[in-house]
């Protein structure tokens, strides 16, 4: 084989190799183009599904909000009905309950022992409790009652104080000179003050 023929064959081989490489490259580009063209189709489908889901969620949310508004309005109407039907509690009712509670607490007070001194200490404490509550009730009535009624009650209260002290003193004289005298005096003061507290609330308080 001559050198000339050998070079000719090399050129043919090289040309064939280049042609094969070009064909392979073209095939890869064709696959990439096909793949790239298919991706937008998937994205579009996803976008359409997302848009559809968003629209459904928005519609559902609007329906839920409408339902919540209806329930809230119904509940509000029910609360208003309850509030309108419940009677308004007055100070009189509050103080009657307070009087009953005070009476239960005062009646539960026990002396330290059976001595007259211990018994008198209990009655003194009961009188103090009821006298404090009576003064509290009297102040409430000063704010509630018209001036004319309050003036009449003030005069009545002065007379009641005289009655209370006189009654307690007379009751204690039954035990004059004995250990029961001061005990009886304190017990009558406490009992009469308790009665007067109930009387003022039931007769005058609103």
For 9-24, how does the pLDDT look when each residue is reduced to its tens digit (9 = 90+)? 556 665 666 565 566 5
Task: For residue range 125-135, list pLDDT tens digits in order.
Answer: 999 999 999 99
Burial class of residue 72, CB neighbours in 10 A (0-12, 13-18, 19+): exposed
Q: Are 201 and 94 in contact (CB under 8 A)?
A: no
SS3 assignment, position 169: helix
**Full residue range of the structural domain in which residue 144 is found:** 91-204
Contact call for residues 83 and 197 (beta carbons, < 8 A): no
Q: Are residues 53 and 101 in the same domain?
A: no
Last residue of a domain, one of 24, 52, 86: 86
Mean pLDDT of the chain, nearest integer? 75
Q: What is the pLDDT of residue 116?
A: 94
pLDDT digits 0-9 by tens, 143-168: 999 999 999 999 999 999 999 999 99
Judgement on whether residues 62 and 96 belong to the same structural domain of the protein: no
Average confidence (pLDDT) over 181-202: 97
Whether 63 and 140 map to the same domain: the answer is no
Please give the residue that has the higher pLDDT: either 82 or 74. Answer: 74
- Return the C-alpha torsion angle 122, 123, 126, 130, nearest 10: -170
Q: Residue 136 and residue 98: Cα distance in Å, rounded? A: 12
Residues 168 and 192 sit within 8 Å (Cβ to Cβ): yes
pTM of the model: 0.58
Give the pLDDT band of residue 84 (cuts 50, 70, 90): very low
Instruction: Look up residue 131 and give its two tokens.
Output: 């006298």
Distances 124 to 73, 82, 101, 107, 203 between C-alpha atoms, Å: 58, 46, 19, 13, 27
Q: Do 99 and 1 fall into the same domain?
A: no
Give the per-residue pLDDT at 11: 63
Domain boundary among 50, 70, 86: 86
For residues 67 and 164, membership in a common domain is answered with no
Number of domains, the chain: 2
What CATH number did the domain enclosing 180 receive? 1.20.1270.180
pLDDT at residue 91 tops 70? yes
Q: Are 164 and 189 in contact (CB under 8 A)?
A: yes
């Amino acid at each position: 084989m001559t050198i000339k023929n050998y070079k000719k064959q090399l050129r043919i081989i090289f040309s064939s190799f280049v042609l094969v490489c070009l064909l392979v490259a073209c095939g890869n580009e064709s696959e990439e183009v096909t793949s790239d063209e298919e991706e937008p189709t998937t994205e579009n489908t996803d976008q359409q599904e997302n848009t559809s889901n968003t629209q459904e969620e928005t519609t559902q949310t609007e329906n839920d909000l409408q339902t919540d508004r209806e329930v809230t309005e119904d509940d509000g109407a029910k609360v208003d009905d309850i509030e309108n039907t419940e009677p308004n509690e007055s100070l009189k009712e509050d103080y009657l309950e307070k009087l009953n509670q005070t009476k239960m607490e005062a009646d539960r007070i026990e002396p330290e022992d059976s001595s007259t001194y211990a018994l008198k200490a209990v009655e003194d404490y009961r009188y103090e409790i009821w006298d404090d509550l009576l003064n509290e009730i009297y102040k409430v009535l000063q704010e509630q009652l018209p001036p004319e009624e309050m003036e009449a009650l003030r005069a009545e209260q002065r007379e009641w104080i005289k009655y209370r002290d006189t009654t307690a003193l007379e009751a204690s004289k039954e035990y004059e000179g004995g250990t029961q005298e001061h005990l009886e005096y304190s017990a009558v003061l406490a009992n009469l003050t308790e009665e007067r507290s109930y009387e003022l609330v039931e007769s005058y308080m609103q």
